[in-house]
């Protein structure tokens, strides 16, 4: 058969390396992002469970892990609440990054202000998609109900999560939307703005022919903790507001007065360090009370 040439290369070679259509690229990016997100959830969920439990008690990391082990009879307890994040993670990532790119599509060289506005918009939009999941995850992780053994540990984990979903109310989701949109809008800006700056600086400094993934990896490693630390005090507050057994706020706990009252409770139960990790040194009486509640 005849082989045409294109700029000195066989046409067959060019066609095999041609860029995919926009539709196929978007679909591939979506599923690749979803699968990568699920892998990330499975790898990091035990740490997520521990830090969520620590945010509501005065125990050390070791004591929190031991309490979960005793309640579950195995380390499977570290994966309580894992189903809902796995289900929603692909949608969250695609909405966040898709909205971010859409906001900057007509800006070839966005300024810091443009990047900040696009980051806040993308994060807040993603928050709308995961608000129900965040309530389910926090309540599943913090519930004190006994572990119910089933034929498989997957069934036991699903049973715990379904018991929370079956009791979920519309007002819980409505309250969660506000918290999560503020958290993700603010946190995404603190992640993406320095991420873009560091990535651009690294691309300029690296010699020609360097691996293009190096700036991306370096920027992600540096900016991931920055974004998380920026929202962690709000995250601790959100965990306390939506933990299992928290219930709906009373009339005198709404608005700024309610925020102040919740912050005081967090401080009393975990000390000043509670906003940074949940296990900070609180008063001896508060620590003893939390130990009785979580280790029994």
Half-sphere exposure of 146 (CA within 13 A, CB side): 4
Whether 184 has a pLDDT exceeding 60, the answer reads yes
Q: Taking Cα atoms as reference points, which of 119, 128, 78 lies closest to residue 100?
A: 119
State which H helix or E strand residue 155 sits in: helix 153-165
The phi-psi region of residue 264 (left if phi > 0; otherwise alpha if psi is between -120 and 50; otherwise beta) is alpha
Q: Using the predicted structure, report yes or no on whether residue 278 has a pLDDT greater than 90.
A: no
pLDDT in the model for residue 198: 94
Q: Which of 245, 233, 238 is nearest to 280 (CA)?
A: 233
Residue 185 binned pLDDT confidence (cut-offs 50, 70, 90): very high
pLDDT in tens, 18-67: 444 555 566 776 677 788 888 888 999 999 999 998 888 767 888 888 88
- At residue 245 the predicted structure's pLDDT band, cuts being 50, 70 and 90, is low
User: Which DSSP category does 168 fall into?
Assistant: -
Within the chain, strands assigned E span 5-6, 9-10
At 47 the pLDDT is 92
Q: Cα 202 from chain centroid?
A: 26
Q: What is the pLDDT of residue 267?
A: 62
The whole-number average pLDDT for the span 98-124 is 91
Hey, is 111 helix, strand or coil? Answer: coil
Please give the average per-residue pLDDT across 217-232, as a whole number: 92
| Mean pLDDT estimate for the chain | 77
| 99-113, 121-135, 151-165: the lowest-pLDDT one | 151-165
Residue 121 has a pLDDT of 95
Summarize pLDDT for 193-218 with one digit per residue, the tens.
999 999 999 999 988 888 989 999 99
Most confident of 19-23, 102-106, 154-158, 285-289: 102-106
pLDDT in tens, 137-168: 999 988 876 556 556 778 888 888 888 898 88
**pLDDT value at position 137?**
92
99 C-beta neighbours (distance < 10 Å), count: 19
Task: Name the least confident of 4-8, 80-84, 115-119, 139-143.
Answer: 4-8
The shares of helix, strand and coil residues in the chain, as percent rounded to the nearest 5, are 75, 0, 25
Domains, the chain, with CATH or none: 32-243 (1.50.40.10)
DSSP class of 109: S
Check residue 252 and give its pLDDT: 52
Q: Which of 6-15, 201-210, 285-294 has the highest mean pLDDT?
A: 201-210
The predicted structure's pLDDT at residue 239: 86
The pTM for the full model equals 0.72
């Amino acid at each position: 058969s005849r082989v045409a040439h294109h700029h000195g290369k066989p046409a067959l070679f060019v066609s095999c390396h041609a860029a995919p259509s926009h539709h196929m690229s978007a679909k591939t990016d979506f599923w690749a992002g979803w699968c990568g997100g699920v892998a990330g959830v499975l790898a990091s969920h035990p740490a997520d469970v521990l830090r969520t439990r620590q945010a509501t008690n005065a125990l050390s990391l070791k004591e929190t892990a031991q309490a979960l082990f005793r309640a579950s009879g195995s380390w499977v307890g570290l994966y309580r609440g894992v189903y809902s994040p796995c289900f929603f993670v692909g949608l969250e990532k695609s909405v966040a990054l898709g909205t971010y790119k859409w906001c900057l599509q007509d800006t070839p060289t966005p300024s810091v202000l443009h990047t900040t506005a696009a980051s806040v918009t993308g994060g807040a939009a993603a928050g709308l998609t995961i608000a129900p999941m965040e309530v389910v995850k926090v309540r599943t992780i913090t519930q004190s109900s006994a572990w119910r053994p089933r034929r498989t540990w997957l069934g036991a984990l699903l049973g715990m999560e379904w018991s929370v979903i079956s009791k979920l109310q519309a007002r819980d989701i409505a309250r969660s939307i506000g918290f999560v949109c503020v958290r993700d809008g603010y946190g995404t800006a603190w992640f993406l703005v320095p991420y873009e700056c560091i990535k651009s600086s690294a691309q300029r400094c690296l010699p020609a022919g360097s691996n293009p993934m190096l700036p991306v990896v370096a920027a992600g490693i540096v900016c991931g903790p920055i974004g998380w630390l920026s929202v962690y005090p709000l995250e601790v507050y959100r965990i306390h507001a939506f933990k299992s057994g928290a219930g709906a706020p009373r009339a005198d706990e709404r608005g700024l007065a309610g925020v102040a009252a919740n912050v005081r409770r967090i401080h009393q139960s975990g000390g000043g360090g509670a906003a940074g990790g949940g296990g900070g040194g609180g008063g001896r009486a508060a620590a003893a009370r939390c130990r009785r509640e979580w280790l029994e």
